[in-house]
Structure 1
Amino acid sequence: MTDLRIAVILGTTRPGRNGKAVADWVMEQAAGRPATYELIDLADHELPLLDEPIPPSQGQYQNEHTKRWAELIAQYDGYVFITPEYNRSTSGALKNAIDYLYAEWNDKAAGFVGYGSIGGARAIEHLRGMCGELQIADVRTAVNFLLATDFVNYREFTPGDHHPPIAQDMFAQVERWAGALKPLRG
């Protein structure tokens, strides 16, 4: 599993977002794992609202930003999506970034880290449905941070001591599935 590459995708671009602190925590927790974890911050990628004229399932990308995004995402064996919960779903930025591609996501594994009033649970449920459509195997264990208990004044990230073992379980599941699916991608 040491040759596995897992992207940790920070799924919000909002100014003043809580997600950056969550992403930093996830990367700290992933340190020393048998797979290589790399952070992808959607704020660093200029992806306008989906502007490809041909459905992504056809793989005929026209725009340079889409081709760059596809090249980046294709190199990973799995993903950990960090999602806020906005209006009972994931962020528009994450949904848009996922919708740009198809084959680059196929036959890979994904785990989830959510945060919000109920730990991002509804956002994660929406992401699970999207993953099924994209042939991404999502793992059972998710890390859920509650705004009321894991953030001081809903802003300063102070995760509880019970979260690290949950994160380690999620990482292990993502790594196992990513390794098992790798032969399917040739």
Structure 2
Amino acid sequence: MSKLGIIVASTRPGRVGLPVAQWFDGEARAHAGFAEVELIDLAEVALPFMNEPNHPRLQSYTHQHTRDWSALVSGVDAFVFVMPEYNYGFNAELKNCIDYLHNEWRYKPVGFVSYGGVSAGTRAVQMVKQVVTTVKMTPVNEAVNIPFVHQFIDEEEGLVANEMLTASAKSMLDELVRVEAVLRPLRAPAEPAPSA
């Protein structure tokens, strides 16, 4: 059985990303398609803006925060990005966390829980898909898009989902489970070449 990582992309004070991610974390655990679910908050990870001198593909990391981030991402089989939309795009902290690594992302499916106003963060999702496919992640088509997100947030209960959001979460989780299983052989270590 595999592990799902839910990345909270927003780090700013007053963000709604955390209650959205906590709701989705509950949905993922109830779904039980993944043996383990981990909520990964970029505000707690606190990566500085890229400060590694070598290309991430080399995995020649000079900072402990990069080695820690590499180990965390390496241990996850599928991801969900819980993300806002800033000015028609995705936020810098999300791009930064992706750019720190390369090989660790390969052949892993990724789903998106986006939120915002009338567009529900969908423009940001379309932009980040170009980035994740470059590091050989596989975005799933199923998504959770939350329009006018503040109407779903209760100060005491967090995000209070309606039937549409719950159904969307299940559909995306179903697809993540399927795609992760198909991609798993590609993540297996390469067999050594036979000696002559």
Shorter-chain TM-score above 0.5: yes
Instruction: Please tell me whether the aligned partners of residues 116 and 145 of structure 1 are also in contact (alpha carbons under 8 angstroms).
Output: yes
- The C-alpha deviation readout for 1:21-78, integer Å capped at 9, x for no partner, is 1001101111232202210001111210111111112221111110100000000111
Partners of 1:6 and 1:77 within 8 A in 2: yes
Give the RMSD, CA atoms, in angstroms.
1.6
- How far does residue 87 in structure 1 lie from its aligned partner after superposition? 1.1
The percent identity for this pair of structures is 35
What letter matches 2:161 in structure 1?
P
Which residue of the partner structure matches residue 128 of structure 1? 129
How far apart in 2 are the matches of 1:119 and 1:130? 20
Structure 1 gap segments, 5+ residues each: none
Looking at structure 2, the residues matched to 111 and 70 of structure 1 have their Cα atoms a distance apart, in angstroms, of 20
Give the structure 2 partner of residue 163 of structure 1.
165
Number of the residue aligned with 1:30 = 28
Give yes or no for the alignment of 1:77 onto 2:72: no
Partner-residue secondary structure (3-state), 1:7: strand
> Which of the pair has more CA radius of gyration?
2
2:17, 2:82 within 8 Å by CA — same for their partners in 1? yes
Counterpart Cα distance in 2 of 1:90 and 1:25: 21
CA drift of 1:82 comes to 0.5
> In proportion to residue count, which structure has more strand?
1
Aligned to 1:53: 53
Give, in whole Å, the separation in 2 of the partners of 1:153 and 1:56: 39
| Kept in 2: contact 1:61–1:67 (CA 8 A) | yes
Q: Secondary structure at the match of 2:174?
A: helix
What is the TM-score of this pair, normalised by structure 1?
0.93
What SS does structure 2 have at the residue aligned with 1:124? Answer: helix
Distance 1:179 1:162 in 2: 26
Residues 173 and 45 of structure 1, relative CA distance in 2, 3 Å threshold:
same
Q: State the alpha-carbon separation in 2 of the partners of residues 44 and 153 from structure 1.
A: 24
Is 1:10 aligned with 2:27?
Answer: no
Structure 1 residue matching 2:67: 3-state secondary structure: helix
Secondary structure of 2:105 counterpart: coil
Q: Indicate conservation of the 8 Å contact 2:33/2:173, yes or no.
A: no
Q: State the match for 1:20 in structure 2.
A: 18
| Closer, same or farther: CA 96–155 of 1 in aligned 2, 3 Å | farther
Give the AA of the match of 1:172: D
Q: How many residues align?
A: 182
Query: Under a length normalisation based on structure 2, what TM-score does the superposition of the two structures give?
Result: 0.88
The 8 Å contact of residues 151 and 158 in structure 1, kept in 2 or not, is answered as no
The answer as to whether partners of 2:110 and 2:140 remain within 8 angstroms in 1 is yes
Question: Amino acid of the residue matched to residue 128 of structure 2?
Answer: L
**Does the aligned pair in 1 maintain the 2:6–2:82 contact within 8 Å?**
yes
Shift of 1:107: 0.8
